[in-house]
Structure 1
């Protein structure tokens, strides 16, 4: 029987067994996918089972490096991959709230079946790439040459393990395998795997944070601070953007330019509201003066301000701060002193 525990690149060296952690908490490439994984496969935030039997498998010490770089891989069965695809699509639905997702535990507790095969191929020569010749240790302790190139789909080595297929999928998302030169193997194993990988989410904003344009309005309470390293969150920390961020669209799949455009739109709306309040205030003051002084409504200055009050809000905003001091001085003069028609605002 061939397994990850009995394969070795050495013909005359005893096999030492080691624990292989599929996803390491210290891996930078893996850190880019952890948040996606936790969301789409129904885990809590910061709930990835790094030290669980779901993430650790016993292998021959000398093949561990080939598992790490993706030149030797193992793939779940096609029906398991189909279940993973359905869960990913369901949980990645944009309005989905955290507690509405299908859960990681629903996938079962194992063990699951896996097929071992090379992950790197020279598609011109159809030869295995980056994987040395291997030997399989038999039950009597002898090492027998083993070649994947001689294997068809039915003769590829298989094993069962408690390592979780969803975590195996993430490992392949970090090191995507090459297409297999044998059509039957490609169709039965690699194509179903790549179907799942092809739907891996590309959103940047952390889905565990509120998405204002969905039903998920309140902060997801996981007992710890939720981090997001997307461009919008880095530019707008929560303490500085609590008000404006609540008005933004869901920027999970939008780039920084779209987020900034939406932010500018909300800022413009707020400025317009302030401008219209000021316009109404000035219009009321001017109408009061015109009612008291019959000739005031014919005054050039008041006519000019009355016209300004009917301008579009964005045009008024550009002039308001510049003219504010002049208007206040003029209002004081109109209310307390006779009008001076020679006074004019340029």
Structure 2
């Protein structure tokens, strides 16, 4: 079995083991994904295990650069990728509180199995790109040429490691591999991996912080200051964008319609109260007109408007205002004698 510790591009150099940190502490690219990772895979804020064995492994010194650049990759099993997909979907779309998420630890313990393949392919030649010829060092020190070009799914090299599959998923999200020339390998390795990528969250606001300016509260404290550098928070004052979680809204979602429906629930109730007060006033004002305009007797449409608080609140109030203008115009015209008795007004 081929190992990342025994692969080398040189025949005349001894193999030197080196530690390979899958997600580097100094990676600027990783900084774009780390909060997403911590949220969707059930970690606490700022708790990514950079120095743990879950993120580090021993590899040959001479292939480490190919791993870092994505020319040589290792992919979790299809079962592990499906579990990663299910966890991402659950944590990203269902809970609204950090403590309701499925936890990183729930994924289980290693070691886990990985399949080694090149990450870049020449679309014309169907050969691995940028990866030099490799040799596998056997237990007796003999170097045996090794090529991926003629491998099918069953003959690809595999190894086990304590590195966590979820961390490997994030690593590939930062540097997405090419599709494999073999349809079988693509279906069993690349497609399950990219299935996770397609659902990777795109929100910018740090979900460990509720959105600013809200009536909703969240009692959540990880014992350290949580920051958010998204555009939305940067436009707020420092006291607002860095306020404690008990002063902020318990909703942080990339779905604007969901924020509109859930985040403004209290506003809807207040607008509904105002709407019902208006209805009462309108009925009183129109009592004199009702005797000669049959349709004014029944204010069911106004009642329905008041009940539609599952709709966007601003739309409800707009429709009520339009109806008020029509009714006032009707009353004004009647007082001037412009309408004959019993003529019904037409309300669209």
Same fold (TM over 0.5): yes
Paired residue for 2:329? Answer: none
1:190 aligns to what SS in structure 2?
Answer: helix
Deviations 1:213-263 (A, max 9, x none): 999731520111101111011111341467xxx7989564279xx99xx9x
Paired residue for 2:254? Answer: 253
Note closer, same or farther for the CA distance 1:40–1:247 as it changes in structure 2 (3 Å cut).
closer
Unmatched runs of 5 consecutive residues or more in structure 1: 274-346
Is the Cα–Cα contact under 8 Å of residues 12 and 143 in structure 1 kept in the other structure?
A: no
CA distance in 1, matches of 2:40, 2:60: 32
CA distance in 1, matches of 2:212, 2:199: 24
* Residue 125 of structure 1, CA deviation: 1.5
Paired residue for 1:158? Answer: 158
Paired residue for 1:201? Answer: 201
Paired residue for 2:218? Answer: 218
Deviations 1:194-222 (A, max 9, x none): 00111110000000002479997315201
Is the Cα–Cα contact under 8 Å of residues 54 and 163 in structure 1 kept in the other structure?
A: yes
Is the Cα–Cα contact under 8 Å of residues 77 and 113 in structure 2 kept in the other structure?
A: yes
1:128 aligns to what SS in structure 2?
Answer: coil
Unmatched runs of 5 consecutive residues or more in structure 2: 275-348
Is the Cα–Cα contact under 8 Å of residues 216 and 250 in structure 2 kept in the other structure?
A: no
Residue 189 of structure 1 pairs with residue 189 of structure 2: yes
Note closer, same or farther for the CA distance 1:225–1:141 as it changes in structure 2 (3 Å cut).
same
1:135 aligns to what SS in structure 2?
Answer: strand
Paired residue for 2:85? Answer: 85
CA distance in 1, matches of 2:216, 2:138: 56
1:116 aligns to what SS in structure 2?
Answer: strand
CA distance in 2, matches of 1:2, 1:53: 20
CA distance in 2, matches of 1:166, 1:128: 25
Runs of 4+ that moved beyond 2 A: 211-217, 246-255
* Residue 18 of structure 1, CA deviation: 0.3
Which structure: larger Rg?
Answer: 1
Paired residue for 1:10? Answer: 10
Paired residue for 1:175? Answer: 175
Paired residue for 1:279? Answer: none
Note closer, same or farther for the CA distance 1:185–1:75 as it changes in structure 2 (3 Å cut).
same
Note closer, same or farther for the CA distance 1:215–1:22 as it changes in structure 2 (3 Å cut).
farther
Deviations 1:292-315 (A, max 9, x none): xxxxxxxxxxxxxxxxxxxxxxxx
Paired residue for 1:343? Answer: none
Residue 144 of structure 1 pairs with residue 144 of structure 2: yes
Is the Cα–Cα contact under 8 Å of residues 22 and 167 in structure 1 kept in the other structure?
A: yes
Paired residue for 1:319? Answer: none
Deviations 1:316-346 (A, max 9, x none): xxxxxxxxxxxxxxxxxxxxxxxxxxxxxxx
1:173 aligns to what SS in structure 2?
Answer: helix
CA distance in 2, matches of 1:70, 1:28: 16
Query: How many equivalent residue pairs?
Result: 261
1:87 aligns to what SS in structure 2?
Answer: helix
Deviations 1:276-295 (A, max 9, x none): xxxxxxxxxxxxxxxxxxxx
Paired residue for 1:344? Answer: none
Deviations 1:116-174 (A, max 9, x none): 00000011211111111111101110111100001110000000010000000000001
What is the TM-score normalised by the length of structure 2? Answer: 0.69
